[in-house]
């Protein structure tokens, strides 16, 4: 079991790993060794995720989640398979931890009276300055 939060733990059987060749630098090694990892987690069918957490995860994941609810994380930053595996798992855990925390509701506030007064005074001052720029009658 992979512990995400106090209430959320994921069974390792829910994760599917697929290894492939990484792109980018690496010399001859990059053409013969499959070090990149693609981690798949079916969030839609996971019994440990509640509905609100699943929905927040879908929003946070964006294009990394398929229509069927499968979260796909690709890791190829490192040259070794083990480090890429650990990186993908860490990123999955961080994403689920972020989705597990509900957003803080926004409380509507009023603009302070002093701030309104200052804004109106500034407008009057700018208007007076602009009045001086106009043409004057030479009586």
Residue 128 confidence (pLDDT) above 60: yes
In a domain, 123, yes or no: no
In a domain, 14, yes or no: yes
In a domain, 73, yes or no: yes
Residue appearing with tokens 């440990």: 48
In a domain, 109, yes or no: no
In a domain, 108, yes or no: no
Domain interval for residue 27 = 2-100
pTM above 0.75, yes or no: no
In a domain, 113, yes or no: no
Among 17-21, 105-109, 132-136, which range has the highest average pLDDT? 105-109
SS3 135: coil
CA 51 centroid distance within chain: 19
- Distance, in Å, from the CA atom of 60 to the CA atom of 95, rounded to the nearest integer, reads 7
CATH number of the structural domain spanning residue 44: 3.30.160.20
Convert the pLDDT of each residue in 11-46 to its tens digit: 777 777 878 777 766 656 666 677 788 888 887 777
Total number of domains constituting the chain: 1
Q: What is the mean pLDDT of residues 77-82?
A: 77
Q: To the nearest whole number, what is the mean pLDDT of the chain?
A: 81
């Amino acid at each position: 079991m992979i512990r995400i939060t106090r209430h959320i733990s994921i069974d390792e059987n829910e994760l599917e790993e697929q290894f492939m060749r990484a792109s980018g630098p690496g010399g001859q090694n990059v053409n013969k060794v499959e070090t990149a990892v693609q981690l798949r987690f079916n969030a839609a069918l996971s019994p440990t995720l509640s509905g609100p957490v699943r929905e927040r995860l879908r929003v946070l994941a964006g294009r990394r989640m398929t229509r069927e609810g499968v979260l796909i994380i690709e890791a190829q930053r490192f040259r070794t398979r083990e480090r890429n595996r650990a990186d993908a798992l860490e990123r999955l855990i961080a994403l689920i931890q972020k989705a597990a925390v509900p957003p803080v509701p926004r409380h509507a506030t009023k603009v302070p009276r002093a701030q309104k007064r200052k804004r109106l005074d500034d407008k009057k001052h700018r208007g007076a300055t602009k009045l001086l720029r106009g043409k004057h009658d030479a009586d």
